[in-house]
């Protein structure tokens, strides 16, 4: 009886045969099994961690871009105004206010800041057609 031991990434592998006491004994790796190990390695993707920033556009931010912050909120919720963070697309949560979520790997490095308020500062952008603004 033989055993092919392969890590989930295909990076480590070994071949064993059981002796008369049924204990595995490592043997030279047979060339005929290389294709199987290669297939496992080829179908492995790097493990990634998802990091999402969730935040909101508070009243002071909204008041800084328009005379009527409530209209901006309605425009975002009504999909007239497009929101990005550092140029990256966001998911705007339903409900009141402007609460959003963005994949930080799509935001430029160093785009987030911090102020002693304490608060994080995100580069939130509002984009809309000129006709909708006027």
b (16+ CB within 10 A) / e for 104-131: beebeeeebeeeeeeeeebebebeeeee
Question: In terms of domains, do 56 and 102 share one?
Answer: yes
Residue 47 lies in a domain: no
> Is omega for the bond preceding 82 within 30 degrees of 0, making it cis?
no
The span from the CA of 105 to the CA of 132, in Å, is 31
Question: In terms of domains, do 30 and 81 share one?
Answer: no
Give the closest residue to 42 by CA, choosing from 88, 87, 5, 11: 11
Q: What is the pLDDT of residues 47-56, one digit of tens each?
A: 788 999 999 8
Question: In terms of domains, do 38 and 58 share one?
Answer: no
Strand, helix or coil at 97?
coil
Q: What is the pLDDT of residues 61-118, one digit of tens each?
A: 888 888 888 888 999 999 999 999 999 999 999 887 899 999 999 999 999 999 998 8
Question: In terms of domains, do 105 and 56 share one?
Answer: yes
Q: What is the pLDDT of residues 13-52, one digit of tens each?
A: 999 999 999 999 999 999 999 999 999 999 988 778 899 9
**DSSP assigned state of 16:** E
Question: In terms of domains, do 119 and 72 share one?
Answer: yes
Count of the separate structural domains present in the chain: 2
Q: Which residues, at least 6 apart from 6, have a Cβ–Cβ distance to it below 8 Å?
A: 12, 13, 36, 37, 40
Question: In terms of domains, do 23 and 68 share one?
Answer: no
The span from the CA of 25 to the CA of 3, in Å, is 9
């Amino acid at each position: 009886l033989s055993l092919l031991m392969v890590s989930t990434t295909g990076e480590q592998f070994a071949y064993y045969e059981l002796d008369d006491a049924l204990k595995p004994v490592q043997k030279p790796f047979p060339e005929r099994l290389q294709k199987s190990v290669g297939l496992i390695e080829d179908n492995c993707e790097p493990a990634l961690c998802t990091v999402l920033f969730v935040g909101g556009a508070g009243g002071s931010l909204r008041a800084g871009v328009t005379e009527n912050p409530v209209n901006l909120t309605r425009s975002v919720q009504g999909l007239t105004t497009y929101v990005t963070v550092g140029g990256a697309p966001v998911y705007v949560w339903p409900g009141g206010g402007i609460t959003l979520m963005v994949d930080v790997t799509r935001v430029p490095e160093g785009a987030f800041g911090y102020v002693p308020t304490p608060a994080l500062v995100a580069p939130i952008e509002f984009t809309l057609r000129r006709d909708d603004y006027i």
